[in-house]
């Protein structure tokens, strides 16, 4: 199990430009056979703060995702509108309730 939070910070005026790119990325990623969950949310307090909440089986599955045609084509187009670098948190351990 590998959970990922990937946070993008986009210039406010560029949000209408990145939304169709994000939608294509989400649809194509959810169609990947190794994708368990891939949601893209918007911070209620900042419309330029986009948060991916992801789940993959393991690091190898995430590496395959980052090498896909849709990822390598769309992510640079999105990142051209960044106001700050992406923040990535990888989590492979859960504090369970046992």
Query: Which residue in 35, 32, 44 sits closest to 4, CA to CA?
Result: 35
Exactly one of 6, 36, 51, 75 binds a second copy (CB under 8 A); which one? 51
Window of 41-49, 60-68, 70-78 that interacts with a second copy by CB under 8 A: 41-49
Closer of 34 and 43 to a second copy (Cβ): 43
CA end-to-end span of the chain? 17
Produce one character per residue of 55-80: b if its CB has 16 or more CB atoms within 10 Å, e if not. Answer: bbeeeebbeebeeeebbeebbeebee
Indicate whether 84 belongs to the interface with a second copy (CB under 8 A): no
Window of 44-52, 66-74, 77-85 that interacts with a second copy by CB under 8 A: 44-52
Q: CA–CA separation, 9 vs 80, rounded Å? A: 11
Indicate whether 42 belongs to the interface with a second copy (CB under 8 A): yes
Give min distance, CB of 24 to a second copy, in A.
8
Give me the residues paired with residue 38 across strands. 54
Residue numbers of the site for a second copy (CB under 8 A)?
3, 5, 19, 22-23, 26-27, 30, 39-45, 49-51, 53, 89-98
């Amino acid at each position: 199990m590998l959970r990922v939070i990937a946070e993008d910070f986009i210039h406010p005026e560029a949000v209408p430009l990145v939304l169709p790119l994000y939608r294509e990325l989400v649809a194509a990623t959810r169609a990947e056979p190794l994708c368990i969950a891939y949601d893209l949310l918007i911070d209620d307090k900042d419309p330029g703060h986009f948060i991916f909440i992801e789940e993959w089986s393991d690091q190898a599955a995430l590496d395959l995702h980052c090498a896909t045609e849709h990822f390598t084509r769309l992510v640079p187009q999105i990142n051209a509108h960044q106001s700050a670098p992406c923040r990535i948190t990888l989590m492979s351990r859960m504090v369970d309730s046992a």
